[in-house]
């Protein structure tokens, strides 16, 4: 059976098009570069601050002390290894900072900053 076909061979037809609030947003990748932010209007008139690129992260160490440090490099990205080569910051990515290796715990493309936790 081919995709989008019934057992009889007929085509499945869409009942309706997607409404504006059902459509996917534009995918944004946060690059490792000097900090750039952008404001986006959300539904209901709310504003979201989105990160386009950054070179600093808020890193929490073992003693729960937070420090703002520079990001040197993206070492690995478990979701997609090709994104690590392009120095793109995602949730779960392992980054090299001034304090050592750290793992990103938030979604930088949805928020205005990068939060990370030190990894042994």
Domain that holds residue 73: 28-118
Q: Going from the first residue of the chain to its last (120 residues), give the mean pLDDT of each consecutive group of 10, the final group possibly shorter.
A: 84 90 88 94 91 95 91 94 93 95 94 92
The set of residues, in sequence order, having a beta carbon less than 8 Å from that of 56 and lying 6+ positions away, is: 35, 68, 69, 70, 71, 114
Domain count within the chain: 1
Question: What is the C-alpha separation between 106 and 64, in angstroms, rounded?
Answer: 16
> Does 45 map to a domain?
yes
Q: List 31's β-bridge partners, or say none.
A: 53, 88
Give yes or no for a contact between 92 and 34, defined as CB atoms under 8 angstroms apart. no
H or E element in which residue 75 lies: strand 66-76
Q: What is the largest CA-CA distance in the chain?
A: 64
Residue 1 pLDDT: 60
Instruction: State the CATH number of the domain containing residue 77.
Output: 3.10.290.70
> Does 21 map to a domain?
no
> Does 7 map to a domain?
no
Sheet with 30-32, strands from edge to edge, namely 36-41, 47-54, 30-32, 88-89
Residue 63 pLDDT: 87
Q: Is the pTM of this model over 0.75?
A: yes
């Amino acid at each position: 059976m081919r995709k989008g076909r019934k057992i009889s061979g007929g085509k499945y037809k869409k009942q309706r098009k997607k409404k504006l609030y059902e459509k996917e947003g534009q995918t944004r990748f946060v690059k490792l570069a000097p900090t750039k932010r952008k404001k986006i209007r959300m539904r209901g008139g709310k504003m979201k601050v989105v990160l386009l690129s950054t070179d600093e992260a808020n890193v929490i160490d073992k003693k729960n002390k937070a420090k703002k440090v520079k990001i040197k490099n993206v070492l690995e990205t478990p979701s997609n290894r090709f994104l690590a080569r392009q120095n793109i910051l995602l949730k779960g990515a392992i980054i090299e900072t001034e304090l050592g290796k750290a793992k990103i715990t938030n979604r930088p493309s949805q928020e205005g900053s990068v939060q990370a936790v030190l990894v042994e």
